[in-house]
Chain A
């Protein structure tokens, strides 16, 4: 296909517009977080970091942040163990129903989040389990596990098993092989999976709405505040905080797993 310079230029302009469309709203959020006014509108006359201080000293925000961090860490830990194990098992062993299992595993992120959330709430209702931090963790771990699985399985597919065979041929015991060959081979994929899982958990609203009960995670606090239309300047500061706290692990994960196809395709709510 031969395209004239004009056509190529036209495509380039269009692409630049798309990138602007994608990024401009994020810029708006960051700018408004430093707006001194109570009502967010342009132009911004006075700049301040006041709202960050307000948010940081708000006990409701603090307890929500603490809950989010605790739930995120616990869910990530569970997801790391389960996701790595299942990636390993599915990659290494041939068994009946293997294809079905690997298809079913992505359901928690393929089905709408509201289905996962409501399904968990129904199960907790039937079994009379009270909603608490533990129900949040169970919900988050279930979809975070998929992210870890995707990352680790993509790495396993790219690495050959000959290294592991060579290791046992040279006399290493299974545990030694695992510790000295397998783990170093997979470590960056596991770390990247864990970082993405934490970022996903820290930002999740939909499943959490149905599994949190009366308590607030940070995204639930943000959602409630926007819905009521109160404390909006404070919301702005918190949102920017969440944006940074999720962007850092994501950017780092992208860096250490660069070149791997799994990265772009694992993000779903």
Chain B
């Protein structure tokens, strides 16, 4: 056996004796990337929100100003847009929760093991399927000569005409984010031991009573987790408002898109983005105050 110690072995031994050095070597590349690219960008966004644009040249003027925020809070257009976005987010969240609750209950507690797997796969599939494909499908379904109106007239039913309205937006948003609500609620149902439900029934509680008193408190964290997704996704989307919504469907997302991409006003878009971050933070705070995080 050779007694010569190679550099590689010496290096290995040095690393083995100093776990902090190994940790630093492993963690520094990803954390540097995260710090330099992501967190620094968020700071850049915040700073940009206080810049302005030279109206003649269209260049960003790197000088501190409150004008973007004062514009947002004084012009009634933005009040309407913010209000519309929040109401839509609330509506979509409630709709998805109402669909996801019985569905998740069924697959977690009623369906057989095998059909449970199939149901989960069928619902997760669109979660990962192309987002644009799902939005585009709804254009084909809801448009004036689309699938839904032609199916209805074929069957002699009254024809719905919701293309390019906020009703269409509500349907499509609810469709798009539904899997994000189902996943955490299903997870919450799965964690409820069957014995709890049996004990409740043995003690004479009806199904409705068991649902309200036993299931609901245990499911609530799941609903809150899902609602964080539905809320955040509705606040950040501009594709659906642009493609599905009509002229009265200005949401925070497409206001940001319009300012940044079409209007060339990056600072104003950044200020609007901070409004949506603030709404999200407020929502998380409210959920926390309501005690929704305690059980997580």
Residues on A close to B: CB < 8 A?
A: 1-3, 7-8, 11-12, 14-15, 18-19, 21-23, 25-26, 28-29, 32, 39-43, 78, 81-83, 85-86, 88-90, 92-93, 95, 101, 104-105, 107-108, 110-116, 118-123, 125-126, 138, 141-142, 145, 173-175, 196, 199, 203, 205-206, 209-210, 219, 222-223, 226-227, 235-236, 239-240, 242-243, 246-247, 250-251, 254, 261, 263-265, 267-269
Q: Indicate the size class of the contact surface on chain B.
A: 35 or more
Determine, out of B76-84, B228-236, B285-293, the stretch whose residues face the partner at the interface. B228-236
Contact check, B106 vs A239: say whether CB atoms are below 8 A apart: no
Residues of B within 8 A of A261 (CB): 187
Nearest residue (CB) in A for B208 is A1
Q: What is the distance, in angstroms, from B142's C-beta to the closest C-beta of chain A?
A: 10
Q: Contact: A112 with B235, CB < 8 Å?
A: yes
- Chain B residues with CB under 8 Å of A90's CB are 27
* Minimum CB–CB distance for B15 against chain A, Å: 7
Once the chains are docked, how many angstroms separate the CA of A92 from the CA of B137? 45
Partner among B44, B128, B129, B130 whose Cβ is within 8 Å of the Cβ of A126: B44
Let me know if B141 is at the binding interface, CB within 8 A. Answer: yes
A126 CB contacts on chain B under 8 angstroms: 44, 47-48, 62
8 contacts between A and B (CB under 8 A): A28-B137, A41-B146, A86-B31, A118-B273, A145-B34, A209-B257, A219-B130, A226-B243
Q: How many angstroms from the CA of A203 to the CA of B131 in the assembled complex?
A: 7
Enumerate B92-133 residues with CB–CB distance to A below 8 Å: 99, 102-103, 105-107, 109-111, 119-133
Residues of A within 8 A of B221 (CB): none
Smallest CB-CB A-B distances: 6 pairs: A112-B236, A25-B137, A89-B27, A86-B30, A93-B23, A123-B44
Instruction: Select which of A28, A115, A242 is within 8 A of B140 by beta carbon.
Output: A28
| Cα of A23 to Cα of B124 in the assembled complex, Å | 11
Find the B residue at minimum CB distance from A81: B29
Per the bound structure, the CA–CA distance linking A250 and B244 in Å amounts to 27
B130 to chain A: which residues have CB within 8 Å?
A: 203, 219, 239, 242-243, 246
For the complex formed, measure the closest distance between the CB of A209 and the CB atoms of chain B, giving whole angstroms. 7
Are B236's CB and A206's CB within 8 A?
yes
- Let me know if A19 and B123 touch, CB within 8 A: yes
In the bound complex, CA of A40 to CA of B136 (Å): 12
Q: A25-B141, A250-B128 are in contact. Are A1 and B45 (CB under 8 A)?
A: no
B137 A15 Cβ-Cβ under 8 A: no
With most chain B CB atoms within 10 A of its CB, the pick from A40, A105, A114, A125 is A114
- CB A140 to nearest CB in B, in angstroms, measures 11
User: Which A residue's beta carbon lies closest to that of B100?
Assistant: A18
Q: A15-B111, A209-B261 are in contact. Are A118 and B45 (CB under 8 A)?
A: yes
Interchain CB contact (< 8 A) of A12 among B60, B106, B150, B154? B106
Pick the contact of B183 from A25, A92, A226, A264 — CB < 8 Å? A264
Q: In the complex the two chains form, is B232's CB within 8 Å of A19's CB? A: no
The CA of A116 and the CA of B133, in the complex, are separated in Å by: 22
Q: Is B1 on the interface with A (CB-CB < 8 A)?
A: no
- Given A115-B273, A199-B128, A239-B132, A121–B40 Cβ distance below 8 Å? no
